[in-house]
Amino acid sequence: MDARQAVIHAFERISSQDPAQIAAAEEDLNNWESQENFHATLFDVFADRSLPTQVRWQAVIKLKNGINKYWRKTPVRPIQLSEKQLIQPRLLSFFDEEVPQIAIQYCVTLSRISRWDYPRVWPEFADELLSHVRQIASEPKSRMRHIKEQNVLYTLHLFIKTLCARMLMKEREALRQLTPGVVALVASIYAQRISEFTNALQSGDAEESTAILKEIRLCIKILRRLFVRGYEKPAETDRTAIDFYLASLTHLAAFYDLLKGLPAEKRESDETLILRKIILLYGKLYLDFQKSHAVAFITMNGVKDILCWYWTQVVSEAPKLAINGNDLYAEPDVVLEKVLVQGLILHNEVVKNFFYNYEENGPEDKDAKRCRQIIDGEILAPEVVQQMAQTLMTYYLPLKSRDLLEWQDDPEAWTNDEQSDHWEFDIRRCAEHLFVNLVSQNKSLLIEPLVQALRAIETEQITLSNLVRCEGLYAALGLCAKDLYEAFDFCDWLEHRQSLDSPLGMIKWRVAWLVGKWIDVKFPDERRNIAYAALLGLTGRSEPLVVRMAATSSLALCVDDWDFNPAGFAPFLDQTIVQITEVLSDVTMPESRMRLVNLLGIIVSRMQRQIVPFAEAIVRLLPPLWQSAAGENLYQTSILDLITKLVDALGSQSAALHDLIVPLVKHSINLSDPAHIYLIEDGMYLWLALVRNTQELVANGTLLSLLPHAAGLLHQETEILKHVLRVIEGYFLLDGPTSFHTSGLAILEGLRELVSDTGINDRAVASGYHALNVIVQCVPVELSGKALVDSGLFWDAFSQVVDQKKVALMLVYPACFLSRLAVHYPTFFGEFLATQDAVLLGQFTENWVKLYDDIGQVPQRRLHVLAMGVSIITTNDGVLKHLPMMVPLWNEVMSDTGSSMYFGDVDDDMPDDYYGGNDESIVPANERSRRLRANDPVHRLNLKTALKQSLAECERINGSERFAQVISLVEAAELEDLKNQLDM
């Protein structure tokens, strides 16, 4: 069996229903990908029209994917030039492909090759493709011409789309050089097909009309991209492109009228799909042009007609969108809603656009000034602005019947979608953006009438007859809160509300929404109780779920506001927790529950200790919440965040929750569970909160059982590692001996690997040594001494100072760690030095002392000097001969600091947020930190007394004669200064 037959047989096996044959065939094809001429064989199979359609279709798909992977020169096994030469001459020969799915894949394959080869490898591609377009367009009208023209135009569209996506200057210049010729050709075809479509429509030939529409659509797609991307200044382009643009509105109106004339049930059918796409393509042309050439869009002829036509459709379709008082759920009979959306976006970009603004006294901007004159004088005259605002407020801002239907069918999905930011696809939300910009740009014209309208309905009883008008005004009141706050007293309006007594759910929803819009605009602290009471009144189970969810969302905005006062909210706290719990039990979607959990977290965070009486109610929610969040990682992170805030609020009382919370932390930091990628950071925050708020570390307790996991997390990336080190420090501050007995050696070994890793971030190394310093301060030498040697930490730090392979600033950390060991474990430190060779010890001491100049913090310098004092209590010449280097440093520190006991934290160089959380609210952790600083020899010992004692001990063990020899090596001036400092 030759290669061609083998490939055909493989595709036949893939078409079978046997999974084993399919898997074997796919494996064979994947293995053949790297073989010579495989892709040429695929092209032969695709080109053989005697083969079954399924085989040819699979062959062209495999060819397309292979070209995408291997056609370039960069892959490991690229297609060789000899094989490309077998394929390329035949590439443009199959535009007569009649099978649609094969034709599409063939066109895509051509565009992929042009993407890599044009213009450097195959510069003639564009000319050859345009030649085929020209030749096919000139053929007599026939079914085959339609097939070939659709295929060749689709290929040209993909080719142009690829060129437009290129951003390099040379490539964009190449596109601009190509554009005039392509536009001239395609525009002529477009004009001919428009004429042919008119004739076919008059003759009633539906099949011919559909075929021509497909060609018209492809022409528009090509011309749209070229008109927007192919010209640097569209207003100065060739006449053909401008004529197409100016004629487009006439054609759009004709196509729209054609669709409008069809029965309602036929407008959305598959038969009119191409027609609808063409209508929307014209809108995309205008939107893209406006986005890319904002100034030219306004200054070119025809802009007023385009905007006028779109606004005419907006106005004519408006009454159909309003809710029918007799049938709230009646579906509106709108011709094509997306056209209205496009019209609203077009007007929105005209009403408020950076390119149309200029400062009166600023630098002269002729283009912006000219655009603004056209907009204010011809497009948005005062009477037009007023009419636009009225239309939007009356018909487009109110909720639609589809909204009410979704309230009934899936209120949670509707609420979640309402809070998303995809406004460009929804007609009501597009109208909201346009209305907000319209009012903000025309305050003097629109604010007063809007306020008068709002006051006129204050005393009205809302019924089905005036429902739409009132709801539209309420929508305007919320959307324009930032513009209305000086002219309208919303607090007074809400206090005397009748809207909350309305039996209509949509009005109650709008009121809940309104509070959220106004709370951060103008709501005095003394009147916020009005908002709290109103919102809590709308969260009861008697209200529709969508109203309750809107009320909780607005409540979250109230609590999370900058001006929130916990004391003012405290009377409502009990009812709030109850109501949120009820809503939580009634919603099912993870997004809805996550939003409510976040609200609870905000309340806990803002209320702090005032939440304690209600903590039990929140804790009861946690197990079912976590169970319902299985597999929903973002939802689980919000639960972890809530628990973290609750632990911080409870302080030391959170110890009662350890049995419940510790398993959640274990799950979050379990590296064998793929979900840890999403949960580990929030899990670490929770773990740290537990440790910092615990008063006592119970042996064999649940919290202590977490500590062994910390050693395994020391290999994590820097951001997680920061939290791991904080947790380790928290444990040792809480109970050093118990923590060390549990996991001391494993943690020390992990820290040694961390601080010795040359590829890790410098800040991570600093944090690692910070943790080691805390361990040394919290654990007695009897427990940690042997482990420090066994783990290699002591020798590693010693070797780094001796070898000096790192920059001095990085050597400061091991040097200060050794200083910490010397001050806290002087006997252990001395025994270690005594075992070292005198030459090696001399090199260490010299380098160690020299690093003093690279230490920036005063407490660390003081620590270093204290350690030097400890080091001279020896008979080793390797240390004693460097006493002349030490004495000037002692004099300097004593002159700067004297005998003062406190100079800040010894690790003041750590980041401000290193410990995390609000230190003032975490009493147990604060107390432990203060106690650690109070017991630190750097702050506790009198430096002069300590050095004087070290010198005396050195003299005792070395004898007066030898000590005199050593001290005589010190410069006379420095020695005299030392004696004066120490009163010797």
Q: In this structure, what DSSP letter does residue 327 have?
A: B
Give, in order, the Cα–Cα distances in Å from 804 to each of 768, 801, 854. Answer: 19, 5, 13
Q: Residues 222-252: pLDDT tens digits?
A: 999 999 999 988 877 789 999 999 999 999 9
Rounded to 5 degrees, φ, ψ at 369 are -65, -40
Average pLDDT, the chain: 89
472 assigned to some structural domain: yes
980 assigned to some structural domain: no
Instruction: Quickly state the pLDDT bin for 898 (edges 50, 70, 90).
Output: low
Is the pLDDT at 531 greater than 90? The verdict is yes
Using an 8 Å Cβ cutoff, are 662 and 706 in contact? yes
Cα–Cα distance, 461 to 501 (Å, whole number): 10
Reference 234, options 148, 298, 155; nearest CA is 298
Domain containing residue 373: 302-358+366-488
Reference 42, options 52, 54, 33; nearest CA is 33
Tokens encoding 651:
């302080």
| Residue 871 C-beta-side C-alpha neighbours within 13 Å | 28
Greatest pairwise CA separation for the chain in angstroms: 126
Instruction: Quickly state the pLDDT bin for 498 (edges 50, 70, 90).
Output: low
Bridge partners (DSSP) listed for residue 327: 324
Final residue before a domain boundary, out of 88, 103, 121? 88
Cα–Cα distance, 875 to 883 (Å, whole number): 12
Using an 8 Å Cβ cutoff, are 775 and 740 in contact? yes
Give, in order, the Cα–Cα distances in Å from 570 to each of 2, 259, 533. Answer: 84, 60, 12
What was the pLDDT predicted at 363?
Answer: 65
Cα–Cα distance, 354 to 368 (Å, whole number): 9
What was the pLDDT predicted at 333?
Answer: 80
Q: What's the rounded mean pLDDT across residues 843-856?
A: 92
Q: Tokens 């492809």 — which residue?
A: 218
**Identity of residue 64:** K
Using an 8 Å Cβ cutoff, are 859 and 937 in contact? no
More confidently predicted of 516 and 420: 516
Q: Residues 362-371: pLDDT tens digits?
A: 566 788 888 9
436 assigned to some structural domain: yes
Q: Tokens 């947020």 — which residue?
A: 913
Is the pLDDT at 922 greater than 80? The verdict is no
Is the pLDDT at 457 greater than 90? The verdict is no
Reference 601, options 659, 526, 682, 535; nearest CA is 682
Using an 8 Å Cβ cutoff, are 281 and 221 in contact? yes
Contacts of 357 (CB under 8 A, 6+ apart): 368, 372
Using an 8 Å Cβ cutoff, are 533 and 572 in contact? yes
What was the pLDDT predicted at 919?
Answer: 41
Final residue before a domain boundary, out of 467, 488, 509? 488
Tokens encoding 965:
């020899």
Give, in order, the Cα–Cα distances in Å from 174 to each of 123, 171, 228, 380. Answer: 11, 5, 15, 39
Is the pLDDT at 899 greater than 50? The verdict is no
Q: What's the rounded mean pLDDT across residues 651-658?
A: 90
Using an 8 Å Cβ cutoff, are 689 and 648 in contact? yes
* DSSP letter for each residue of 877-942: HHHHTTHHHHHHHHHHHHHHHTT-S--S-TTTTS-TTTT-S-GGG-HHHHHHHHHHHHH-HHHHS-
More confidently predicted of 57 and 926: 57
Tokens encoding 263:
């029965």
Alpha helix stretches (DSSP H) within 268-361: 273-292, 294-299, 303-321, 337-351
SS3 category, 324: strand
Q: Tokens 């892959």 — which residue?
A: 75
Q: Is the dihedral of CA 467, 470, 476, 477 positive or negative?
A: negative
Helices 38-47 and 53-70 pack at an angle, to 10 degrees, of 150
Final residue before a domain boundary, out of 88, 123, 155? 88
Q: Residues 55-68: pLDDT tens digits?
A: 999 999 999 999 99
440 assigned to some structural domain: yes
976 assigned to some structural domain: no
Q: What's the rounded mean pLDDT across residues 528-535?
A: 92
What was the pLDDT predicted at 262?
Answer: 87
Q: Tokens 């930190």 — which residue?
A: 929
Cα–Cα distance, 669 to 660 (Å, whole number): 16
Helices 573-586 and 615-628 pack at an angle, to 10 degrees, of 20
Is the pLDDT at 78 greater than 80? The verdict is yes
Is the pLDDT at 259 greater than 80? The verdict is yes
* DSSP letter for each residue of 421-443: S-GGG-HHHHHHHHHHHHHHH-H
Q: Tokens 């290929």 — which residue?
A: 155
Q: What's the rounded mean pLDDT across residues 528-532?
A: 92
Using an 8 Å Cβ cutoff, are 325 and 464 in contact? yes
CB atoms under 10 Å from CB of 454, counted, come to: 19
Give, in order, the Cα–Cα distances in Å from 252 to each of 225, 278, 653, 817, 971. Answer: 17, 8, 70, 78, 98
Q: Tokens 């077998």 — which residue?
A: 86
Reference 546, options 741, 406, 427; nearest CA is 406
Reference 343, options 319, 368, 316; nearest CA is 316
Is the pLDDT at 113 greater than 80? The verdict is yes
What is the Cα Rg of the chain in Å?
A: 39
Rounded to 5 degrees, φ, ψ at 302 are 100, -10
Bridge partners (DSSP) listed for residue 324: 327
CB atoms under 10 Å from CB of 128, counted, come to: 12
Q: Residues 658-668: pLDDT tens digits?
A: 999 999 999 99
What was the pLDDT predicted at 916?
Answer: 45
Give, in order, the Cα–Cα distances in Å from 656 to each of 237, 379, 647. Answer: 76, 68, 10
Is the pLDDT at 913 greater than 70? The verdict is no
Using an 8 Å Cβ cutoff, are 605 and 564 in contact? no
**Identity of residue 522:** K
Is the pLDDT at 437 greater than 80? The verdict is yes
Using an 8 Å Cβ cutoff, are 407 and 414 in contact? yes
Give, in order, the Cα–Cα distances in Å from 802 to each of 514, 749, 808, 844, 849. Answer: 70, 21, 12, 5, 11
765 assigned to some structural domain: no
How many domains, the chain?
2
What was the pLDDT predicted at 794?
Answer: 92
Q: Residues 302-354: pLDDT tens digits?
A: 999 999 999 999 999 999 888 776 666 677 788 899 999 999 999 999 998 88
590 assigned to some structural domain: no
Helices 676-692 and 718-756 pack at an angle, to 10 degrees, of 80
Is the pLDDT at 461 greater than 80? The verdict is no
Using an 8 Å Cβ cutoff, are 684 and 720 in contact? yes
Q: In this structure, what DSSP letter does residue 332 have?
A: P
516 assigned to some structural domain: no
